[in-house]
Structure 1
């Protein structure tokens, strides 16, 4: 383990408590160990570690891999969260050529607490500026793993939230997943629609209205939150 990884690991242990570790492990139904460090504390540890480190691309990737995979026989949630935060912090140095690393993390994450920031806060901005992610998202959208399909959806969240983004591609993905029973897919569709509707309610209303009879209650409840009362009533009536 590199000296910087050792520093991050030590600081995470110092910030953690056994009580919080047990609660978080239970809440997330986690199969890996927890130190019990909070998300803000983990973020603070990562920022302090990176301050003045001046990591280059390969060094950042190697550090993230160390934090994610070590110890190989007993990975730790907060170390994986720190690896995620590190990649997000270093995203200006990353691109589609790093897909293998990012996708590997997504496949091993098995929890929204890691998948969502990886997909939404990392892949989202990267895919908006690097067209090399286009075929990656297309492949993810039909993957057998629902966490990967969720990632294909959430990669659109931040761009669409700001009034940019590829709404046509997102809705094409969402339309194919609309009847899925998996809660995390239903929630993701609704979540992206909700945040898109905060700036472009008519766009979301026009898309969801003719599909309301196919969408789950979870999806509808999220999607209609920013809509006008008249629009909400129309969508709910169409169900």
Structure 2
């Protein structure tokens, strides 16, 4: 593991709580471990690492995010998300391949949704020209993917822009209606949603966007 990865991991373990770890383990299941560190501790560990290792450029940041994600521990994976959030300006459309891998293995709203809303969406919004077109093509592909987590993420990605009064509402409405009506893997979507305590993941994402955007833009409808 890299020096920066060791630094973050050690910081997370120092902030561990056996009570929080047990509660998290019961919620996440056996496939994902937990140190029991708080979200604030995760953000603090990443912030301190970025101050300590200022030389990390885009390649270093993306490699560190993969390194953190590779170990199935919730706090490490959340640290990878926070790391990408912190260095959004250095990412480009080619990084969506790496993020897609994260989304396919996240299997948890607490990890997948921040990646979609706070990383994928702002990343694409900051692109233009050919890079923007290629990134939007990736989202269109996600909308057709059998994996409900990818379809959910593609629908949640524009949420920040829409909530702020911008974004392409007509485009979101078209994608949402098309995905709900014709999206593949409906049975799998429902099964995953039932197992983790909610309804279908894709339908839930649409309702979340409608609810969040409707607070400031009540006139918008699908």
Name the CA distance, whole Å, in 1 between partners of 2:30 and 2:94. Answer: 30
Q: SS of the residue aligned with 2:219?
A: helix
| 2:31 aligned residue | 31
Residue deviations 1:71-102 (CA, integer Å, cap 9, x gap)? xxxx2111111011101101100010111111
Cα deviation, residue 129, structure 1: 2.1
Q: SS of the residue aligned with 1:201?
A: coil
Q: SS of the residue aligned with 2:173?
A: helix
Cα deviation, residue 109, structure 1: 0.8
| Equivalence map 1:86-235=2 (5 Å) | 86-130=83-127, 131=132, 132-178=134-180, 181=190, 182=193, 183=199, 184-204=201-221, 207=222
| 2:21 aligned residue | 21
Name the CA distance, whole Å, in 2 between partners of 1:67 and 1:186. Answer: 30
Name the CA distance, whole Å, in 1 between partners of 2:216 and 2:7. Answer: 42
Asked if 1:64 corresponds to 2:81, the answer is: no
**Bigger relative contact order, structure 1 or 2 (CA pairs below 8 A, ≥6 apart):** 2
Task: Output the TM-score relative to the length of structure 1.
Answer: 0.80
Gaps of 5+ in 1: 208-239
Task: Output the TM-score relative to the length of structure 2.
Answer: 0.86
Question: Which 4+ runs in 1 deviate beyond 4 A?
Answer: 179-182
Q: 1:30 to 1:187 in 2, by over 3 A?
A: farther
Cα deviation, residue 61, structure 1: 0.8
Residue deviations 1:176-204 (CA, integer Å, cap 9, x gap)? 23365452222210111112222221123
Deviates most, 19-28 or 97-106: 19-28
Larger Rg: 1
Name the CA distance, whole Å, in 1 between partners of 2:28 and 2:118. Answer: 20
Cα deviation, residue 32, structure 1: 1.6
Cα deviation, residue 68, structure 1: 0.9
Root-mean-square deviation (CA, aligned residues, Å) is 1.5
| Equivalence map 1:45-84=2 (5 Å) | 45-54=45-54, 55-70=56-71, 75-84=72-81
Q: 1:185 to 1:30 in 2, by over 3 A?
A: farther
Whether the 8 Å contact between 2:42 and 2:78 is mirrored in structure 1 is yes
| 2:196 aligned residue | none
Name the CA distance, whole Å, in 1 between partners of 2:217 and 2:30. Answer: 37
